[in-house]
Amino acid sequence: MPPVAVKPCESTLRLPFETPRLAEIAYRVLSVDKEPRRNFVQKTLNLERDVLVVHFCADQVKNLRTAISSFFEALLLCQDTIKQFGDPTSAEPEAPQQDNAGAQSGSDSA
């Protein structure tokens, strides 16, 4: 069996958003959760206008990958929420359409 390489490693993700506001929302939502203490990964988030910059430092490649993949799960959920519920100002014009569809399915379930 080849020896498993355990070496410190790091990675930086640069994630652009449509607007600085959306980048800030993602930054604040994703900054809350700390990395689990036992996976030996340090994650730092920074905001550069409309770009979210995430830096990972890990003790080994395996842990780095785990941390990045769980970060992406959270990021995708946050992005999908933004996509579906938008910001209130841009969501208002679409509201009447959605209300119609809602009334239909509402009466179905009633």
Partner 1 sequence: MVCSLGIEGSANKIGVGIIRDGEVLANVRRTYITPPGEGFLPNATAKHHREVILALVQESLKEAKIKPSDLDVICYTKGPGMAPPLLVGAIVARTLSLLWEKPLLGVNHCIGHIEMGRHITGAQNPIILYVSGGNTQVIAYSNKKYRIFGETIDIAVGNCLDRFARILKLPNDPSPGYNIEQMAKEGTNYINLPYVVKGMDVSFSGILSHIEALADPTKNPNKRKKTLEADASVAKPADLCFSLQETIFAMLVEITERAMAHCGSNEVLIVGGVGCNERLQKMMGIMCEERGGKLFAIDERYCIDNGLMIAHAGAEMFKSGSRMPFEESFVTQRYRTDEVLVTWRDD
The site for partner 1 (CB under 8 A) is made up of 25, 28-34, 73-74, 76-78, 80-82, 84-88, 91, 95, 98-99, 102, 105-106, 109
We find the least distance from the C-beta atom of residue 60 to partner 1, in angstroms, to be 21
We find the least distance from the C-beta atom of residue 75 to partner 1, in angstroms, to be 9
CA distance readout (Å), 100 to 20, 95, 103: 32, 9, 5
Q: Which is nearer to partner 1, 4 or 73 (CB)?
A: 73
We find the least distance from the C-beta atom of residue 8 to partner 1, in angstroms, to be 26
Q: What is the 3-state secondary structure (H, E, C) of 42-75?
A: EEEEEEECCEEEEEEEECCHHHHHHHHHHHHHHH
